[in-house]
Amino acid sequence: MALFSLARSHKAARVLPGFNITLGFTLTYLSLIVLIPLSALIFKTFTLTWDQFVEAVTGPRVMASYRLTFGASLIAALVNVVFGLLVAWVLVRYNFFGKKVIDALVDLPFALPTAVAGISLTALLAGNGWVGQYLEPLGIQLAFNPNGVVIALIFIGLPFVVRTVQPVLEDAEKELEEAATCLGATRWQTFSRVIFPSIAPALLTGFAMAFARAIGEYGSVIFIAGNMPMVSEITPLIIIGKLEQYDYAGATAVAVVMLVISFVLLLVINALQAWQRRHTGAPA
């Protein structure tokens, strides 16, 4: 009986026409644009022996680029967690002049082409730039070294944390905070024991998204990094370098490593988002 009603409801869902054509088109387009080209990457690596593959992805210059890419992405994502939470909090909880403009401006890193962000940040932070000229006498160099990579990645990742935390903060129930205060909690206790746990999943999702984006980022970083081998050369630039030397197999090997990492991160983000939905009780 249950099976029968299940079958019927299944059939009822297909009252709408167009399932075959839309799914067919989706799968064809997905295969042509994404899946087949990505499989070309995997097949190309099979032209390498295992030893050649390992050599290509663990050379000293490549290893240094992993350290820089992952280290800078981690620092930038952590900075974004702190300041992203701060910006989201201020935008949701307080009123001040120009709030709407600031809110819209948060998305600037999504809208501004990365190359523009790159040359602009470089112009600001170089020794003669608006900001750089005050930092240089203090012995602080933010452009043309790994610091610049971190700065560019903070810029790129900022909207991710703000935009994942903001809606959760907006939906947070004030009653819980009132209850905490009535029960004698200080404001800080209310924040750390009541508010923070409810936004933690969103914060973690935003962190993972900012981190994933930072690892693959190319356009904004290459202008400000200085691109010195072993010091300030990011992994995507290693791929470009190998391509320019017609080392297609080597470029592909490094690209496969990056692809696997981004796929794992994508699965982690999906799991985090599912957790967040369960946490907030919102419909999937």
Partner 1 sequence: MSATTINPSVRRAQAGTTEPAWVRYSLIGLALTFMFFFLVLPLAAVFTEALRKGLEAYWDALQEPDAWSAIRLTFITALVAVPLNLVFGIAAAWAIAKYEFRGKAFLTTLVDLPFSVSPVVAGLIYVLMFGAQGWFGPWLQAHDIKIIFAVPGIVLATVFVTFPFIARELIPLMQAQGNDEEQAAIVLGATGWQTFWYVTLPNIKWGLIYGVILCNARAMGEFGAVSVVSGHIRGQTNTMPLHVEILYNEYQSVAAFAVASLLALLALVTLVLKSFVEWRHARELNAAAELPPERPHA
**Segment 120-159, which members bind partner 1 (CB under 8 A)?**
120-121, 123-124, 129-131, 154-155, 158
Can you tell me the distance from the alpha carbon of 279 to that of 165, in angstroms, rounded to the nearest whole number?
A: 13
- Interface stretch with partner 1, choices 57-65, 139-147, 196-204, 252-260 (CB under 8 A): 252-260
Task: Work out how close the CB of 134 gets to partner 1 at its nearest, in angstroms, rounded to a whole number.
Answer: 12
Q: Which residues in 220-249 contact partner 1 (CB under 8 A)?
A: 223, 236-237, 239-240, 243, 248
281 counts as binding partner 1 under rule CB under 8 A: no
Task: Work out how close the CB of 140 gets to partner 1 at its nearest, in angstroms, rounded to a whole number.
Answer: 14
Q: Which residues in 45-74 contact partner 1 (CB under 8 A)?
A: none
92 counts as binding partner 1 under rule CB under 8 A: no
- Interface stretch with partner 1, choices 9-17, 70-78, 197-205, 225-233 (CB under 8 A): 9-17
30 counts as binding partner 1 under rule CB under 8 A: yes
165 counts as binding partner 1 under rule CB under 8 A: no
251 counts as binding partner 1 under rule CB under 8 A: yes
83 counts as binding partner 1 under rule CB under 8 A: yes
